[in-house]
Amino acid sequence: MANVRVLVVDDSAAMRALFCDILDNAKGVTVAGTARNADEARVQLETLKPDVLTLDVEMPGMSGMEFLEEVMATRPMPVIMLSSITQAGTGTARRALELGAVHCFPKPLHTSREEFDATVRQLGDIVLKAAAGELKPGGESGDGAEGGGARYKSDGRIVALACGAAGIETARQVLAAYDAACPPTIVLFDADPAAVDKAVAAMRHSLPCQLENALDGVSLEVGKVWLAHDPTRHVIVEAGEPPRLRLVEREPINGCRPSADLLFGSLARTGLPALGGLLTGSGTDGVRGLAILADTGARVFHQRPADYAPRDRYDAVRAQGTDLADLRQEAIPDWILEQTNAAG
């Protein structure tokens, strides 16, 4: 029997090489070709006529999700989505399955010999099943759970995230992992207003969760995300049944408005179950507030910056000695969902 031929589509050269290596090591599977984006993939599909397509969710230009929809409309075939944000039960995974993907497989974050061998066996088996028609569109998620693997139920914990310009992409990845049952979340942006407005506009068109601008007096409810990016007012959390957001006109704190220190401090004062996180950014706003939040027993983390990103907040948190999770960008979405999941 001829090997199953796979087209690997990913904008990252490193990931293309990794998945080609994984698939070429899988029994009964051959990599027919690779593509960096939707335009190249479109040509390769016609030229190579592969049996199975592996597709990255996030690509420049046409996204993987958009290209998946195009493939299902013009050339239906088994498609396996590969991404760090297609974990079972997330909004991205569900949407991919709804669009026709047969499986969502998480990109390996580590490549030890044991993990590599396990991934070869697992992904190779998925590809063979997809080619044989054993996996139906929309039928199976990244860990084998049926119908998108929905095992997430928010425990009601309020999530508060603060990010600078360098953390906007991480915030987008977190929200891409959310779905309609996401935890009540506040995302505070400390960056150039024009850049934030552009990023927020793009998020509204591409993310599965419900995004709203932070408004005074709104209830913090499961299933909604509030974006705080008005440079004229701070945002705080007010205790109550239900808890609410309040917008406050005050002078900048630590040179920032809205201020992460003020947001985290207000959330700590409510005594409500909470999770706080500092994403990459310049300055030290949010460092003290995150420590105050941690002292209440809240679950907190900070993002370990990439080599090229500012380290101000990261170094300040480490110097303060706050007990918190130290997470790389790709690990943050899953960690938040794990920490706020009442379904276990």
* 145 domain residue, yes or no: no
pLDDT digits (tens, 9 = 90+) for 119-177: 677 888 899 999 998 887 765 444 443 334 446 788 999 999 999 888 888 898 888 87
Domain containing residue 170: CATH number: 3.40.50.180
* 143 domain residue, yes or no: no
- Residue tagged 């390769």 (tokens): 44
What is the C-alpha radius of gyration for the chain, rounded to an integer number of angstroms?
21
Tokens of 196: 């934030």
Q: Are residues 103 and 232 in the same domain?
A: no
Residue 310, pLDDT score: 85
d(CA 22, CA 253): 50
- Is 50 or 134 the better-scoring residue by pLDDT? 50
Domain that holds residue 71: 4-131
Q: Is residue 67 predicted with pLDDT exceeding 70?
A: yes
Q: Are residues 126 and 163 in the same domain?
A: no
- Number of structural domains (the chain) is 2
- Is 90 or 188 the better-scoring residue by pLDDT? 188
pLDDT digits (tens, 9 = 90+) for 233-275: 999 999 999 999 999 999 999 999 999 999 999 999 999 999 9
Residue 251, pLDDT score: 96
- Tell me which of 131, 149, 167 is where a domain ends: 131
Domain containing residue 31: CATH number: 3.40.50.2300
Q: Are residues 316 and 176 in the same domain?
A: yes
pLDDT digits (tens, 9 = 90+) for 85-123: 555 455 677 778 888 999 888 776 555 666 666 667 788
Q: Are residues 125 and 236 in the same domain?
A: no
Mean pLDDT of the region 293-298: 95
Q: Are residues 93 and 12 in the same domain?
A: yes
Helix (H) or strand (E) holding 244: strand 244-248
d(CA 142, CA 269): 39
Q: Is residue 1 predicted with pLDDT exceeding 80?
A: no
d(CA 209, CA 212): 10
Q: Are residues 114 and 163 in the same domain?
A: no
d(CA 296, CA 287): 15
Residue 87, pLDDT score: 53
* 242 domain residue, yes or no: yes
Residue 143, pLDDT score: 41
- Is 331 or 215 the better-scoring residue by pLDDT? 215
